[in-house]
Amino acid sequence: MSRRDEFLASMREKWEALRQRVEGLASRIEAGSLADLRAELEVVHTRLASAMRAGAELGEEAMRSLGAAMERLAAAVRRAEEGDRRASD
């Protein structure tokens, strides 16, 4: 498996894990916050799908950009989870 294939497989796994975490928060966070997270999930999913279509054509900058978008999404999910934990304490 090439480096790009490994990267894309990793990004797919991370996206799916984040999607599951967001859905786990669905009944515990405000509707607006949930909508924002779902919208961000969709944006990252669209970028991931585009990267997967590019395959071998996917450049280093696109890989860095997708990785950064995934990290921003992960940070948003962490903030929502932390807010939920604080609210339930």
> Cβ(69)–Cβ(46) under 8 Å?
no
Q: What's the predicted TM-score (pTM) here?
A: 0.89
> Cβ(29)–Cβ(83) under 8 Å?
yes
pLDDT, one tens digit per residue, over 15-41 is 999 999 999 999 999 999 999 999 999
| Tokens encoding 39 | 């919208």
